[in-house]
């Protein structure tokens, strides 16, 4: 093949390669190849990640709004299936979750949670009525079963009963007494009632005069006056051979006709043998 023939051959090849239709076909093929490779890689990525195990975050003690936002970002679906009232805790705080934090799960896994209530449950305590005149400890246990706490506000003297309910207070409000007996009363779950309880002690009575009385008589007078005999000492440090014949020569607290002493307190006496 001579030079002219080679020249014609290369010219034809050049014209073919620079032909607009050929270039468009090549560009079209390249574009198709790029798109094909991109789609293939995305499919492989999806296929590889599909079913991949993820670690479940622990959302306990996290507010539900924050937990839902985080769960959505991590391809989880959070569902509140229960709520409970807990005294002292604000509403919307997650208390438990299923699956638990740290578990390995698949993406789009549903998370079932229990949160705290924003508003406390209301309890009607009428089922434990009556309260006035009833035993405090018994009613305290019944109220505790309804999640109502009890506290003794104070004791008041009552000669006939001990540990009986005389008054019931809700904060500064008197709700139950001898003259106040409502048919029903509602409280928030977790509330506390305060009680005034009867007691044979706590009242004050006038101090009796025991001077000049025998020990036996002084003891009887003290007890009927709601007191008791305390320390017994001997006048002039002299002993008494027969206590049944001893008489009281002084007492403490002293008798003055007006002074009072709390019931149950003791009166000390000094005695000597009867002459």
Range of the domain at 222: 204-273
222 within 8 A of 208, measured Cβ to Cβ: yes
Task: Clarify whether residues 128 and 180 are in a common domain.
Answer: yes
- Please check whether residues 213 and 265 belong to one and the same domain: yes
Query: Three-state DSSP class for 216?
Result: helix
Q: Which ranges constitute the DSSP H helices of 146-263?
A: 215-224
Same domain, 126 and 194: yes
Q: Which of 92, 116, 140 is the last residue of a domain?
A: 116
Residue by residue, pLDDT tens for the chain (275 residues) are 566 666 665 676 666 566 777 677 767 788 888 887 887 777 656 554 555 678 899 999 999 999 999 999 988 999 999 998 887 789 999 999 999 998 988 888 999 999 998 888 889 999 999 999 999 999 999 999 998 999 998 888 776 788 899 999 999 999 999 999 999 999 988 899 999 998 876 677 889 999 999 999 999 999 988 889 999 998 876 667 777 778 999 999 999 998 988 877 899 999 988 76
Residues 57 and 30 in one domain: no
Q: Residue 52: what are its φ and ψ, rounded to 5°?
A: -65, 140
Is 57 found in the same domain as 42?
no
Among 74, 100, 116, the domain-final residue is 116
188 shares its domain with 127: yes
pTM check: above 0.75: no
Q: Please name the residue that has the structure tokens 């997650």.
A: 94
Q: Which residue has the tokens 């209301």?
A: 122
Q: Are residues 57 and 78 in the same domain?
A: yes
For residue 48, the model assigns a pLDDT of: 46
What's the CATH code of the domain at 267? 3.30.10.20
How many domains does the chain fold into?
A: 4
- Domain C-terminal end among 49, 70, 87: 49
53: its two tokens? 């195990």
What pLDDT, on the 0 to 100 scale, is given for residue 202?
67
Report the pLDDT value the prediction gives residue 237, as an integer from 0 to 100: 67
**161 — phi, psi (to 5°)?**
-130, 160
User: CA 170: distance to chain centroid?
Assistant: 18
Of residues 111, 24, 13, 118, the one with CA closest to residue 60? 111
Q: Do 128 and 195 lie in a common domain?
A: yes
Instruction: Tell me how far apart the terminal alpha carbons of the chain are, to the nearest angstrom.
Output: 172
């Amino acid at each position: 093949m001579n030079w002219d023939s080679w020249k014609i051959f290369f010219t034809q090849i050049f014209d073919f390669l620079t032909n607009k239709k050929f270039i468009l076909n090549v560009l079209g093929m390249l574009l198709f190849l790029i798109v094909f490779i991109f789609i293939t890689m995305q499919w492989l990525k999806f296929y590889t990640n599909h079913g991949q195990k993820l670690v479940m975050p622990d959302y306990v003690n996290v507010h539900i709004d924050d937990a839902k936002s985080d769960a959505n970002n991590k391809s989880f679906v959070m569902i509140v299936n229960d709520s409970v009232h807990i005294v002292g805790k604000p509403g919307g705080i997650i208390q438990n979750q299923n699956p638990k934090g740290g578990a390995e799960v698949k993406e789009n896994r549903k998370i079932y949670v229990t949160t705290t209530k924003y508003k406390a449950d209301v309890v009607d305590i009428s089922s434990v009525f009556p309260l006035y005149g009833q035993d405090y400890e018994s009613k305290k246990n019944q109220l505790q079963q309804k999640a109502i706490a009890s506290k003794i506000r104070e004791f008041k003297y009552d000669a006939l009963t001990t540990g009986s309910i005389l008054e019931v207070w809700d904060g500064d409000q008197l709700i139950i007494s001898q003259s106040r007996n409502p048919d029903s009363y509602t409280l928030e779950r977790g509330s506390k009632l305060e009680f005034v309880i009867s007691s044979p002690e706590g009242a004050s009575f006038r101090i009796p005069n025991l001077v000049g009385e025998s020990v036996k008589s002084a003891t009887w007078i003290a007890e009927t006056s709601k007191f008791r005999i305390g320390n017994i000492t001997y006048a002039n440090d002299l002993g008494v051979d027969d206590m049944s014949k001893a008489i009281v020569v002084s007492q403490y607290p002293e008798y003055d006709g007006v002074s009072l002493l709390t019931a149950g307190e003791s009166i000390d006496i000094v005695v000597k043998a009867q002459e």
